[in-house]
Amino acid sequence: MKNVPLVELAKTIRSKNAGVDHITFDIIFKDRAVYEYIKQNHLITKELIAQIYHMPPERIVLFVYFDPAKAIKFTIRRFKPSGSPGETDVMGAQQYPPLFEISLILPESLLKEKGGGNQG
């Protein structure tokens, strides 16, 4: 088993507006087998995301594993509407860096190549 930062397993980690009151996130994995292992073992959950963002899980209005894209998608309710006084990220595009804190323990057999294993 090896501890691997999420940023080494994903090819894309991003956030963006999902309307005025929500921000949506995508974590798109490089490797199908790594994605399936994470999904099957519930290594990234709604509760983990809530912990990282210091919010109650109820603020996460959507959390899905999206198999066709090897992706985890989730949507949170903003603390303030986009563009309102005191709100600092109108487009919601700068909300993903806390996801860089995630590190996952994976079998070394999944990590055949540097950066997350087999492609596909």
pLDDT confidence bin for 111, thresholds 50/70/90: confident
Burial of 1 (0-12, 13-18, 19+ CB in 10 A): exposed
pLDDT confidence bin for 45, thresholds 50/70/90: very high
Model pLDDT, residue 113: 58
Model pLDDT, residue 112: 72
- The pLDDT mean for the chain works out to 93
Instruction: Return the C-alpha torsion angle 108, 71, 114, 49, nearest 10.
Output: -70
Helical H segments across 1-120, by residue range: 6-9, 32-40, 46-52
User: Worst-scoring range by mean pLDDT, 29-38, 54-63, 79-88, 107-116?
Assistant: 107-116
Instruction: Over range 50-67, report the average pLDDT.
Output: 97
